[in-house]
Amino acid sequence: MFPGFNKKAKTWVGLMPLAGGNGCVVKRSNAILNYGKRVIYSESTANPNFMASYNHFFGLVVLGTCLAAKPLRWLLLKTVLPNPG
């Protein structure tokens, strides 16, 4: 989801990286608790303005690229990301 303005919330919204996983949880909860047949699930981040929304999106693209490319992932693990444990 690219950054965009949500008229209902009156704010700029952007991609929520964990929305896909959370959607599976909501779907399973609906199957167990029977919320209804017309449940619609949507999740996004709220940002105060366009630039904040764009910067959030661009940062996620850069992070995803760095984690996908082995040399950049190695560099992140050695310099930026904390050690496990």
- Does residue 85 sit within a domain? no
73 within domain boundaries: yes
Q: Is residue 84 part of a domain?
A: no
- Note the pTM of the prediction, 2 decimals: 0.72
Contacts of 42 (CB under 8 A, 6+ apart): 19
The pLDDT of residue 2 is: 83
- Asked if the structure places residue 30 within a domain, the reply is yes
Structural domains counted in the chain: 1
DSSP 8-state assignment for residue 83: P
Sheet-wide strand order for 11-14: 4-6, 11-14, 45-47
User: Does residue 65 lie in a domain region?
Assistant: yes
What are the tens digits of pLDDT across the range 32-57? 999 988 988 889 999 999 999 999 99
User: Which range marks the domain in which residue 64 is found?
Assistant: 4-79
